[in-house]
Amino acid sequence: MDIRELRAPVEHGPWPPLTHLPPLSFEPLRGARSWTGLTYAQVPGFRPLVLDLHVPQATRPAPLVMWVHGGGWSEGDRRLVPLQWGQQELFQRLIDAGIAVATPDHRLIGEAAPDDMVRDLVAALRYVRHYALDLGLDVDRVAVWGDSAGAHLASLVGLAGSAARPDPHFLGRLGVGAGRTDVAAIIWWYGASDLTVLPDLTESLWRGVDSEARDWLAMAYSPVSHLRADSPSMLIMHGDQDSLAPLEQATRLHERARAVGARSRLIVVPGADHVFVGADIGVQWQVAIEFLQESLGA
C-alpha cells in the first residue's frame, strides 16, 4: 500500500487498537532530498533511536522543524501523522514552503519515562545540528512542532533547551552528547502543558513512583514551568470540542507565557475535536506553516 492511501480504520469515533500496519511503500517527496532511519542515538539495552529527514533541494541551507508525533506517550510512528489527516501531505507542504522536516522516533512509556523521552528528542535535535553541513540545514533556524503527547514533549525540549543555561541533567548526553539545543519557535497542538492539575495522567506516566516524587516530576516536566521572558515564540492551537485533551491546558500555557512576558499566540479552533477532527486540517496546517515561515525566515 502506498503510505498516502493509509487512513483511519473508521471515519468517526474510536477504533480498536492497531496491532500492525500493512506493508507501506513510499514515494519521495517532491523537491526534497530524504534520509530514512538515521540513527541519532544508541542507548545500551534499547533499540536504536532513529529519525527521518526531508530537506528541500535548494542552493542554501534550509530552516528545519522537528515534528514530534502524538500517541499518548504509548504509541506513535515517526513516519505517520494522525491517520485522520492522510499521510505525507503535511510533510510535502513543509518542503514546498522551503522548510526541512525531521521526524524522530523516541522511546515510549513501556520502555522509559517522559524524562528519557525528552532526552531522546534532545539527542535528535543535537544530531541534525551536528551533521547540518552534510544535511543542508541552517543551524540557526530550527523549530519544534508536536501534536498531543508530542506537543508536551516538543515544548519541553524547546523551552528547556533554549534556557540561557540549559540544565544538563534535564537534557541528557545521548547520541552526539553535546551541542546547541535552542530553538527559534515552538508549535504546541492540543497537548499537555501543566501536569500538576492532571494527577491521573501523571500517575500513569510515572508508575511506581511515590506521590511526593511524582508531584515534583509533574512540576518539573510541565512546559509551563520552563517559560521565561526570553522563551522561543509559541503558537498554541487547540479545538474547542477536544474530548481527549482539556482546552484548559492550552489556555494555561498561553496565560503563563503572557504572565512572564514570553511571546505566545493562542488559536482556539471552533468545532474541532482532538487532532482537529471537525475542522479543515489544511487551514490549520497553513496557519502553522505561515508561523514557521515568519519565525524562521523561510
Q: What is the pLDDT of residues 101-142, one digit of tens each?
A: 999 999 999 999 999 999 999 999 999 999 999 999 999 999
Contact 235, 265 (CB under 8 A): yes
Phi, psi of 186 (to 5 degrees): -135, 130
Nearest-10 Cα torsion for 153, 158, 162, 166: 20
Burial class (CB in 10 A: 0-12, 13-18, 19+), 283: exposed
Of the listed ranges 19-23, 187-191, 214-218, 246-250, the least confidently predicted one is: 19-23
**Whether pLDDT at 13 is above 80:** no
Give the closest residue to 154 by CA, choosing from 205, 218, 93, 223.
223
Helix (H) or strand (E) holding 132: helix 132-135
Position 58 scores a pLDDT of 87
Give the closest residue to 183 by CA, choosing from 159, 152, 150, 148.
159
3-state class (DSSP) for residue 81: coil
The widest CA-to-CA distance across the chain, in whole angstroms, is 54
Position 11 scores a pLDDT of 76
Contact 154, 188 (CB under 8 A): yes
Question: The domain 31-296 belongs to what CATH superfamily?
Answer: Alpha/Beta hydrolase fold, catalytic domain (3.40.50.1820)
Give the closest residue to 287 by CA, choosing from 223, 228, 250, 238.
238
State the cell numbers at 208: 511506581
Position 10 scores a pLDDT of 83
Return d(Cα 201, Cα 197) in angstroms, integer.
Answer: 9
Burial class (CB in 10 A: 0-12, 13-18, 19+), 249: buried
State pLDDT tens for residues 38-95: 999 999 999 999 999 999 998 899 999 999 999 999 999 999 999 999 999 999 999 9
For the chain, counts of helices (H) and of strands (E): 9, 8
Return d(Cα 190, Cα 275) in angstroms, integer.
Answer: 8
Q: Where are the domains of the chain?
A: 31-296
Residues near 281 by beta carbon (within 8 Å), at least 6 away in sequence: 84, 85
Return d(Cα 31, Cα 54) in angstroms, integer.
Answer: 9
Of the listed ranges 1-10, 72-81, 257-266, the least confidently predicted one is: 1-10
